[in-house]
Chain A
Amino acid sequence: MDPKEEIKKSFIAAIWFMFLTFPIMVVRVDTIEHTVTWRWERLIWVGAAFFLLSFIWRRLLDRKLTGPSATDTAPAHAAPRWKHLTADSRLKRPALAAAALFFLAVPLLFSWNKTILVTNALIYVVIALGLNIVVGLAGQLVLGYVAFFAVGAYGYALLNLHYAVGFWSALPIGAALAALFGLLLGFPVLRLRGDYLAIVTLGFGEIIRIVLENWNELSFGPSGIDNIPPPDFFGLILNLRQTHIAIYYLMVVLTLLTILVVSRLQHSRIGRSWEALREDETAAQAMGIDTTRAKLSAFALGACWAGMGGVVFAAKQKFINPGNFTIWESILVLCIVVLGGMGSITGVVLAALVLVILPEALRVFADYRWLVFGAMLVLVMVFRPEGLVRARRRVYAFEPTESDKTEGP
């Protein structure tokens, strides 16, 4: 584009944002002390920043629209090589081995609390993979997924408190309990689609949290449950740090198990019926797929991972209260699934690691981190709407279909 035109556009953008941010950035009214502070210097910063940003923004947007080859020649050459490299199965094994080695070595490489942080991230990997079944594969937008997490966590805490149920038996029980709640939610919403489903499930998540807050006799209300025992590892007597490391390895195993089961499910008969459901419910039904069964199984099989994650979370945390299970957790998990590229297991794993660890890494920015986090969500979605890793579907036909051609690399 003409540089003059470019500068003009950026200038207009800068002026616009200076106008837009003027009251909130520049004026600060204290209605308590009845003072007004004018911070004019900020106006200049905003103007300068948006002048520059608008160049970058247009550049990136152009590139996204026209594809890499049109604006920039370098990636055009790199793309096939890159594809060649990654398609090479000889590289896949060492890469996987390196990843496995890394995860095995985490407690040795990093300090205690960082190990815990990675454990947290792995818990989110497991529950995000569960939500991935519901949202990514079956295409049912669920906004109250945290409810199943809460069911698992409270399930273990309460069963242990009242009936002294141990961690290892609680793990499958928690999963089953969550699956049961999945069915419980699934039945009334069978007829609902899309956004109606989203708001009802959001309500479901809130209902579970509010009940936990109010029903003291069941859940001890907002003060929560403390002294939840950690898992027993072969009767070994471990100190706290060793327990946390053991829980870390437990989570590694559980994550592998989840990945294995979910990827097997994905390509099974039921997995294909989920994908059919996602693409077009009516067509799926016409093709003879039992959509009721497909939906309910997606809810149940998706929920059970959250239940399992909840049990581990409670055991690791030792203390839970309803504050752990707010709508923001549901939103975080959904962001992981979408950011990772819906339906892609690798994507979900990466996104969970990024989204859980990033706010901690952004601690340097302290107060700014949520601002940055919000902006990043927008930017990633604008420039990579399919998520970090685009889900690839196994192609069964030999001939490439029309949709594959238009998809691009």
Chain B
Amino acid sequence: MNVRISGRAPLMAAIFLIAFVSLWTACSQKEGAPVASEQKNLPPIKIAVVGSHSGDLASYGIPSVRAAQLVVDQRNAACGIAGRRIELLVEDDVCKPELAANAATKVIGDGAQVVVGHICSGATKAALGIYKEARLVAMSPSATNPALTQSGEYPNFFRTIASDDAQARLEVDFVLGRLKAQKIAVLHDKGDYGKGLAEFAKGFIEADPRGAVVLFEGITPGAVDYSAVVNKINQSGAQAVIYGGYHPEASKIVSQMRKKAMTIPFVSDDGVKDDTFIKVAGEFAEGVYATGPVDTTRNPIAIEAVAAHKAKYGEDPGAFFLNAYAATLALVNAFEKACATDYDAIVKALRSEWVATPLGIIRFDERGDAIGVGFAMYQVQGGKYAEIK
């Protein structure tokens, strides 16, 4: 066999490429078609909804698509925004930063004027730089990383949820004030969200003369068991545990603590304030504290929104539904009040105009945080989260 290297390779490459181009252009046409047919006299206003719509964290992302859809349907039924229809561009980022950046360029390419999203803080951060450059407002219903607003890097970012430092503040005040614990163990899952929160909690405790951090540790998500860490909490003499992270690890740690006859309070965050946590941890969930958005289910707009969701999708809405509903309402309101779709006008309207949402009547401050949105402390009582007043 005396053939020189890569003899048939270039030909294969050429065939491959041709097949590829044809396939791809075919796909592009399909994507393009419906947009063209929907065009009316005035070009529609395009709102992009980007977040995790598939994968492990889909349950956090899908409710926001539905929320936006409900608001948009309602508006379009009543002649849209000043006669212009609203159109949704839904894009999936699976909560992965590299895909979030791709999704961002995709919606910009498709002509989005504002973005509802993203869902996870890391993905949001990856996409915000791109939106900033393209002068697009992005409003997240769920990204709680404090730096997103506090760093001042992203004047185009807004959110309808309070940031993690507010949550950590509440946790620490509760543990030191109400529970009167002095020695506190702070744990986290080494993730963007969990570790950030735990670091704030640690900082707040250290600044407070009433308490001390006796243990600050990151656990390994997905480990076979957590008995070593649980033993260490026991050994440290902690009187309370503050945990930053999501519910799967939290429920493992709580169950192992309780099975080892450790009864100290376990305080966590809105990643744990999810009914799945109670169901998975079962009896061991009883008595666990978690912070979460202030309960606004008795707000009339919230009742209306939940009813609309039930009518359309036949089930109760999922996580961050009301936050996403509020975000979409706020953006639509900004379009109306600004009477324009350009960046400066929308930002100005968001910062100055109050708007009635399921979360209450809100407006945004200079940094992009919503005024009037906060956290409350909940406790599992009888298999349900109950707000502690």
Instruction: Flag if A32 contacts B279 (CB, 8 Å).
Output: yes
For chain B, what secondary structure do more than half of its interface residues adopt (helix, strand, loop), or is it mixed? helix
A244 contacts across to B, CB distance below 8 A: 105
Task: Tell whether A214 pairs with B190 under 8 Å between CB atoms, given A226-B125, A319-B97, A404-B1.
Answer: yes
Stretch touching chain A among B14-22, B286-294, B312-320, B351-359: B14-22
Q: How many A-B residue contacts, CB cutoff 8 Å?
A: 163
A110 to B27, CA, bound (A): 11
Instruction: Flag if A317 contacts B2 (CB, 8 Å).
Output: no
Report B124 CB to chain A, min CB distance, Å. Answer: 10
A109 to B17, CA, bound (A): 13
Stretch touching chain A among B4-12, B69-77, B178-186, B324-332: B4-12
A106 to B24, CA, bound (A): 12
Instruction: Flag if B13 contacts A95 (CB, 8 Å).
Output: yes
- Beta-carbon nearest neighbor of B153 in chain A: A227
Instruction: Flag if B102 contacts A321 (CB, 8 Å).
Output: no
Stretch touching chain B among A134-142, A189-197, A341-349: A341-349
A350 to B15, CA, bound (A): 11
- Could you pull out 16 A-B pairs where Cβ atoms are within 8 angstroms? A87-B7, A92-B10, A92-B11, A99-B10, A113-B103, A113-B106, A116-B102, A117-B102, A213-B190, A223-B125, A226-B126, A227-B153, A350-B12, A361-B24, A363-B92, A392-B3
Instruction: Flag if A221 contacts B97 (CB, 8 Å).
Output: no
Task: Tell whether A95 pairs with B109 under 8 Å between CB atoms, given A221-B195, A240-B130, A319-B97.
Answer: no
A227 contacts across to B, CB distance below 8 A: 129, 153
Say yes or no: is A261 at the interface (Cβ < 8 Å to chain B): no
- Beta-carbon nearest neighbor of B146 in chain A: A223
What 9 pairs across the A-B complex have the smallest Cβ distances?
Answer: A86-B8, A346-B9, A95-B10, A113-B106, A32-B279, A95-B14, A240-B133, A319-B126, A112-B109
Cβ contacts B351-378/A at 8 Å (1 or 0 each)? 0000000000000000000000000000
Report B48 CB to chain A, min CB distance, Å. Answer: 12
Say yes or no: is B311 at the interface (Cβ < 8 Å to chain A): no
A83 contacts across to B, CB distance below 8 A: 8
A350 to B20, CA, bound (A): 11
Instruction: Flag if A91 contacts B192 (CB, 8 Å).
Output: no
- Beta-carbon nearest neighbor of A267 in chain B: B5
Pick from B14, B121, B192, B280: contact of A98, CB below 8 A: B14
Say yes or no: is A28 at the interface (Cβ < 8 Å to chain B): no
Task: Tell whether A85 pairs with B11 under 8 Å between CB atoms, given A111-B109, A222-B192, A223-B145.
Answer: yes
A58 contacts across to B, CB distance below 8 A: none
Report A20 CB to chain B, min CB distance, Å. Answer: 26
Task: Tell whether A349 pairs with B13 under 8 Å between CB atoms, given A214-B190, A319-B97, A324-B98.
Answer: yes
Instruction: Flag if A389 contacts B12 (CB, 8 Å).
Output: yes
A110 contacts across to B, CB distance below 8 A: 24, 28
A1 to B151, CA, bound (A): 72
Cβ contacts A395-407/B at 8 Å (1 or 0 each)? 1000010001001
B121 contacts across to A, CB distance below 8 A: 223
B59 contacts across to A, CB distance below 8 A: none
Report A354 CB to chain B, min CB distance, Å. Answer: 8
Q: Which of A358-409 contact B (CB under 8 A)?
A: 361, 363, 366-367, 389, 392-395, 400, 404, 407
Q: Which of A83-113 contact B (CB under 8 A)?
A: 83, 85-87, 91-92, 94-96, 98-99, 102, 109-113
Instruction: Flag if A226 contacts B1 (CB, 8 Å).
Output: no
A404 contacts across to B, CB distance below 8 A: 1
B153 contacts across to A, CB distance below 8 A: 226-227
- Beta-carbon nearest neighbor of A316 in chain B: B101
Report A277 CB to chain B, min CB distance, Å. Answer: 19
Pick from A224, A241, A407: contact of B1, CB below 8 A: A407
Q: Which of B185-220 contact A (CB under 8 A)?
A: 190-192, 195-196, 199, 218
A87 contacts across to B, CB distance below 8 A: 3, 7-8
A226 contacts across to B, CB distance below 8 A: 125-126, 128-129, 153
A263 to B5, CA, bound (A): 10
Cβ contacts A263-277/B at 8 Å (1 or 0 each)? 100000000000000
Say yes or no: is A59 at the interface (Cβ < 8 Å to chain B): no
18 new A-B contacts, CB < 8 A, other than A114-B28, A346-B9, are A85-B11, A94-B14, A102-B21, A111-B106, A113-B102, A221-B195, A222-B196, A223-B125, A224-B122, A240-B130, A240-B134, A319-B101, A319-B125, A323-B96, A349-B13, A367-B54, A392-B1, A395-B1
Report A7 CB to chain B, min CB distance, Å. Answer: 35
A389 contacts across to B, CB distance below 8 A: 6, 9, 12
Q: Which of B98, B106, B108 has the most CB of A within 10 A?
A: B98
Task: Tell whether A113 pairs with B1 under 8 Å between CB atoms, given A227-B129, A318-B130, A350-B13.
Answer: no
Instruction: Flag if A366 contacts B105 (CB, 8 Å).
Output: no
Report B120 CB to chain A, min CB distance, Å. Answer: 10
Say yes or no: is A239 at the interface (Cβ < 8 Å to chain B): yes
Cβ contacts A223-245/B at 8 Å (1 or 0 each)? 11011000000000001110010
Pick from B9, B27, B147: contact of A223, CB below 8 A: B147
Report B19 CB to chain A, min CB distance, Å. Answer: 11
Instruction: Flag if B192 contacts A223 (CB, 8 Å).
Output: yes
A366 to B62, CA, bound (A): 14
Say yes or no: is B388 at the interface (Cβ < 8 Å to chain A): no
Task: Tell whether A323 pairs with B12 under 8 Å between CB atoms, given A111-B28, A223-B147.
Answer: no
- Beta-carbon nearest neighbor of A99 in chain B: B13
Pick from A85, A116, A214: contact of B218, CB below 8 A: A214
A297 to B2, CA, bound (A): 29
Q: Which of A322-351 contact B (CB under 8 A)?
A: 323-324, 344-347, 349-350
Instruction: Flag if A395 contacts B97 (CB, 8 Å).
Output: no
Task: Tell whether A321 pairs with B97 under 8 Å between CB atoms, given A111-B109, A350-B16, A366-B54.
Answer: yes
Pick from B9, B54, B101, B102: contact of A344, CB below 8 A: B9
A317 to B126, CA, bound (A): 7
Instruction: Flag if B133 contacts A99 (CB, 8 Å).
Output: no
Task: Tell whether A319 pairs with B129 under 8 Å between CB atoms, given A111-B109, A244-B105.
Answer: yes
Instruction: Flag if B133 contacts A317 (CB, 8 Å).
Output: no
Report B378 CB to chain A, min CB distance, Å. Answer: 19
Task: Tell whether A321 pairs with B98 under 8 Å between CB atoms, given A102-B21, A344-B6, A346-B9.
Answer: no
A120 to B6, CA, bound (A): 24
A99 to B133, CA, bound (A): 33
B102 contacts across to A, CB distance below 8 A: 113, 116-117, 120
Pick from B25, B105, B195: contact of A222, CB below 8 A: B195
A395 contacts across to B, CB distance below 8 A: 1-2
Say yes or no: is A57 at the interface (Cβ < 8 Å to chain B): no
- Beta-carbon nearest neighbor of B27 in chain A: A361
Instruction: Flag if A317 contacts B105 (CB, 8 Å).
Output: no
